Amino acid sequence: MKRRLLWQIYPVFMVMTLIGLLAFSWNVSVLLREFYKVQKTAQLERMARVATHYFEDIVGTEQFDKMQSVCTELGRTTQLRYTLIDLEGKVLADSDENPRQMENHLMRPEVQAVLDGRIGSDIRPSKTVKQELLYVGLPLTRDGKTAAVLRIAVPLIELRNTTQTINREIIRYGVIIAIVLAALSLALSWKISRPLEILRLGALRFAQGDLNHRLHVPASREIGALAESMNQMAAQMDERIRTIVAQRNQQQAMLGSMVEGVLAVNTAGSVLSANRAAAQMLQIAQEQCVGRTIEEVIRNTELQQFVRRILDNTEPAEYRITLHENIMPERHIQAHGTPLLGDSGSKIGALVVLNDITSVRRLEEVRRDFVANVSHELKTPVTSIKGFIETLLDGAMEDPGDRRRFLEIIARQANRLDSIIDDLLTLSRIEQQSRQEQMTLESAQILPILQAAAELCQGAAAEKNIRIEVDCPKNLQSCVNASLLEQAVVNLVDNAVKYSDTNAAVRVEALFAEGELLIHVRDRGCGIAKEHLPRLFERFYRVDKARSRKLGGTGLGLSIVKHIVQSHKGRISVESRPGEGSVFTLHLPRTQS
Ligand code: ADP
Smallest CA separation from ligand 1 atom 2, residue: 553
Q: What is the pTM of this model?
A: 0.53
Residues 386 and 482 in one domain: no
Nearest atom in ligand 1 to the alpha carbon of residue 553 is 2
Smallest CA separation from ligand 1 atom 8, residue: 555
Smallest CA separation from ligand 1 atom 23, residue: 496
Residues 365 and 344 in one domain: no
Residues 564 and 491 in one domain: yes
Among 350, 369, 394, the domain boundary falls at 350
* Number of Cβ within a 10 Å radius of residue 150: 24
**Would you state the pLDDT for residue 389?**
94
Residues 521 and 373 in one domain: no
Residues 51 and 151 in one domain: yes
**Would you state the pLDDT for residue 34?**
85
Helix (H) or strand (E) holding 471: strand 467-471
Residues 337 and 366 in one domain: no
Residues 74 and 160 in one domain: yes
**Would you state the pLDDT for residue 11?**
85
CATH of the domain at 42: 3.30.450.20
Residues 503 and 561 in one domain: yes
CATH of the domain at 461: 3.30.565.10
**Would you state the pLDDT for residue 592?**
62
464: Cβ contacts below 8 Å, ≥ 6 apart: 497, 500, 501, 502, 503, 504
What are 556-569's pLDDT values in tens digits? 999 999 999 999 99
Query: 422: CA distance to ligand 1 center in Å?
Result: 17
As a whole number, the mean pLDDT across the chain is 89
What are 417-474's pLDDT values in tens digits? 999 999 999 989 888 887 777 778 889 999 999 999 999 999 999 999 999 999 999 9
Residues 31 and 163 in one domain: yes
Residues 202 and 337 in one domain: no
- The residue ranking higher by pLDDT, 504 or 331, is 504
Smallest CA separation from ligand 1 atom 16, residue: 543
Q: How confident is the model at residue 25 (pLDDT cuts 50, 70, 90)?
A: confident
Q: How confident is the model at residue 328 (pLDDT cuts 50, 70, 90)?
A: low
Query: 417: CA distance to ligand 1 center in Å?
Result: 18
Smallest CA separation from ligand 1 atom 10, residue: 542
Smallest CA separation from ligand 1 atom 14, residue: 542
User: Is residue 355 assigned to a domain?
Assistant: no
What is the 8-class DSSP label of residue 527? Answer: -
User: Is residue 556 assigned to a domain?
Assistant: yes
CATH of the domain at 381: 1.10.287.130
Question: Number of folded domains in the chain?
Answer: 4
Ligand 1, CB within 6 Å, residue ranges:
495-496, 499, 523, 525-528, 536, 541-544, 548, 553-559, 582
Residues 338 and 371 in one domain: no
What are 366-390's pLDDT values in tens digits? 889 889 988 988 998 999 999 999 9
> Mutate which of 489, 506, 542, 575 to test ligand 1's pocket (most atoms within 8 Å of Cβ)?
542
How far apart CA 586 and CA 571 sit, in angstroms, is 6
Query: 381: CA distance to ligand 1 center in Å?
Result: 20
User: Is residue 237 assigned to a domain?
Assistant: no
What are 212-249's pLDDT values in tens digits? 888 888 888 888 898 899 999 999 999 999 999 999 99
Nearest atom in ligand 1 to the alpha carbon of residue 584 is 23
User: Is residue 215 assigned to a domain?
Assistant: no
Which SS3 state, helix, strand or coil, does residue 21 take? helix
What are 126-174's pLDDT values in tens digits? 776 677 888 999 999 888 888 899 999 988 777 778 778 888 888 898 8
Which SS3 state, helix, strand or coil, does residue 60 take? coil
User: Is residue 45 assigned to a domain?
Assistant: yes
User: Is residue 139 assigned to a domain?
Assistant: yes
Query: 429: CA distance to ligand 1 center in Å?
Result: 22
Smallest CA separation from ligand 1 atom 19, residue: 495
Range of the domain at 176: 1-208
Question: What percent of the chain has pLDDT above 70?
Answer: 97
- The residue ranking higher by pLDDT, 548 or 27, is 27
Query: 536: CA distance to ligand 1 center in Å?
Result: 8
Q: How confident is the model at residue 524 (pLDDT cuts 50, 70, 90)?
A: very high
Among 350, 373, 392, the domain boundary falls at 350
Nearest atom in ligand 1 to the alpha carbon of residue 543 is 16
User: Is residue 252 assigned to a domain?
Assistant: no
**Would you state the pLDDT for residue 129?**
63
User: Is residue 563 assigned to a domain?
Assistant: yes
**Would you state the pLDDT for residue 546?**
82
Query: 542: CA distance to ligand 1 center in Å?
Result: 6
3-class SS letters over 211-244: CCCCCCCCCCHHHHHHHHHHHHHHHHHHHHHHHH
Residues 97 and 153 in one domain: yes
**In the predicted model, is pLDDT for residue 593 greater than 60?**
no
